[in-house]
Amino acid sequence: MSQVNTEQRPQPATTGTTLIVFVGLGIAFLLFLAFLNVVKSGNLLSESNLLFAALIFYAGAGALYLGFGVTGIESYVKAASLATWVGLLANTGAIAHRWYDAGHPPFASVYEMLLSFVWTLAVLTLIAEKKYHVKVIGTVTMPVAIVGVVLMQLLRTDVHPLVPALQSTWLHVHVTLAMLAYAACALSFALAMMFLIQDNMKTETFLAATSIGTIGIYLSIVLTRFEKWGGLSLIAWDSEHKQEVFLSKGVRLFVTIPDLGWLMLLALLVVAAPLVLYALAQSKKNASLLAIANRAVFISILLQIMTLAMFLLRASNGSYPSLDADGLFATSLAASPFILAGLVGGIFMSLLYLLLLWRRPDLERLLPDANTLDRITYKTICIAFPLLTLMIAAGAYWANQTWGSYWNWDPKETWAAITWLVYAGYLHMRITRGWRGRRAAYFAILGFGVVMFTFFGVTYLLPGLHAYA
């Protein structure tokens, strides 16, 4: 979906309506495709159709918000806001449908939690826009929502009845609080980003950091997974039992997807280019090299998206040979959560950097001034922190009812506590040490990073009792 957003970037908007027409046509085309699908299946308001509609409109809104960032045409924001409303409506329908089908609120699996998270995020975006007049907040929150909905497509799960441990009122209390808290954290992150845009900070340091971050991602992929003759090894996946394939106890079977390794290597070189140009610009004191470096970031995003698309296509379909065993084996995106997360994270990081570049007077005009943004960020965290506290308390109480202990140091609990400590640190630095502005904004961004790790990272990377989500 990010593809939609970025492809429209280089097109110079001749009139204020160009992008709206483009996005409108795009939405119409996708809706037409969806319509064909509806005719085929004969079911208009199925959950997947509603979710697909939500995705289309969120993507349209994201494209318009980003388009506004490039061109500064105000009518885009209005259209984007409208698209967000429609997307939210479809999202609400999807939630209602899921709730009705399952007979319980959609809180029981990662898929269902994401559904609620994206919904809350869209609601908060609209609130921030209407109440606090942070009109372009969607530039950050909509891509997050899009990533959420795309992940949901990958995670598609059937409706499962609640296992005994989840049959508790505390489930609903706990998860509602979690969704509210996490969405508030996402909002504070978006506001902190807006603050950085408004605060006229130096972008070069971010150029280097973004480049180093993406280099780290691709370097670790290439170093660990690059095979002879340009293949990429991935863990084989047994789709029947939904688990990794083991050769023997503890030894996983790797399959090699041909040529994908070369693509990763190429991506590594391209994402390294901005850093090299940055280093050159610093040593030669040549500012024009920085402009080239910025363009290189843009090119690297296109390549990264292509890499992700190739990875998605090839890993989710087809069978591949293995170096360790005869025959062909399938793999799955579920078998490579690290790589998938890395690729998506790299694109996201680069997009955020591009966002910082759009420091235009008309964009600044549509944002409250830096001080106000700083204060709203703080206010949002003042809302998120008590919610986080209550979420942890409700979870502890529920754990005490179910497992006989209020605190088990299970990874999810531990990371929830770490999130709490990070925000507690933010509040202390701000209140007692008077941290304002940039330092506080970095802290808010860090806090959201920890939230995301607690939400996704712990679920997929660290095992524990908290297996439902």
Partner 1 sequence: MATSPKTVSTSAPRKSLARKIWQTAASIKTGVVLLILVVVFAAAGTVILQRPMTEPDDMQRAYSPQALRFLDATGMTDVFHAWWFLGLMVLVSLCIIAASIERFPNSWRYYSRPYKYPDSSFRRALHPQKTIPIPDEETGLVSAERALNSLGFKPERVIREDHFAIFAERHRISEMAVYIVHASLLLIFFGWIVDGVYGWRGYIRLDEGQTSNLVELRDGGTRPMPFSIRCDSAGQENYKDGTPKKWWSKLAIVDNGQDVKAKEIVVNDPLIYNSVRFYQSSYGENGKVDKLILTATPNASFNSAGPGAPPPVPAQPKLIAFTVGDTADLDADTTVRFAEFFTDYAVRDGQVYKRSNEMGSPAAHLVVTSKASGKSFDVWFPPLEEVADNSKAPYLLEPKDLKLGHFTGLQVSHEPGQWGVWTGVVLLGVGLAFVFYVIHMRFWAVPVRDEKTGQLVLWVGGSANRNRDAFEQRFDVLISAIDKDLKPVSSIAPSEPIAAAVR
Residues near partner 1 (CB under 8 A) are 160-161, 163-165, 167-168, 249-250, 372, 375, 379, 382-383, 385-386, 389-390, 393, 396-398, 400-407, 409, 411, 414-415, 417-418, 421-422, 424-425, 428-429, 432-433, 458, 462
The Cα 234–Cα 330 span in angstroms is: 10
373 near 195, Cβ under 8 Å? yes
Identify the three-state secondary structure at position 96.
helix
Question: Least CB distance from residue 216 to partner 1, whole Å?
Answer: 18
Question: Least CB distance from residue 70 to partner 1, whole Å?
Answer: 32
User: For residues 298 and 442, which CB has a smaller minimum distance to partner 1 in the complex?
Assistant: 442
CA distances (Å), origin 468, targets 110, 164, 180, 338, 460 = 7, 12, 19, 19, 11
User: For residues 155 and 382, which CB has a smaller minimum distance to partner 1 in the complex?
Assistant: 382
Question: Least CB distance from residue 218 to partner 1, whole Å?
Answer: 23
User: For residues 250 and 361, which CB has a smaller minimum distance to partner 1 in the complex?
Assistant: 250
Other C-beta atoms lying within 10 Å of the C-beta of residue 308: 20
* Tokens 């106000």 found at: 372
Other C-beta atoms lying within 10 Å of the C-beta of residue 129: 19
The Cα 181–Cα 381 span in angstroms is: 9
User: For residues 310 and 382, which CB has a smaller minimum distance to partner 1 in the complex?
Assistant: 382
CA 123, 129, 130, 134: dihedral to nearest 10 degrees? 150
User: For residues 213 and 464, which CB has a smaller minimum distance to partner 1 in the complex?
Assistant: 464
User: For residues 229 and 409, which CB has a smaller minimum distance to partner 1 in the complex?
Assistant: 409
Q: Which residues pair with 254 in a beta bridge?
A: 235
Question: Least CB distance from residue 271 to partner 1, whole Å?
Answer: 26
253 near 330, Cβ under 8 Å? no
Question: Least CB distance from residue 459 to partner 1, whole Å?
Answer: 12
Question: Least CB distance from residue 127 to partner 1, whole Å?
Answer: 17
Helix segments in 162-203, DSSP class H? 169-198
Question: Least CB distance from residue 463 to partner 1, whole Å?
Answer: 9
The Cα 160–Cα 151 span in angstroms is: 19
User: For residues 20 and 392, which CB has a smaller minimum distance to partner 1 in the complex?
Assistant: 392
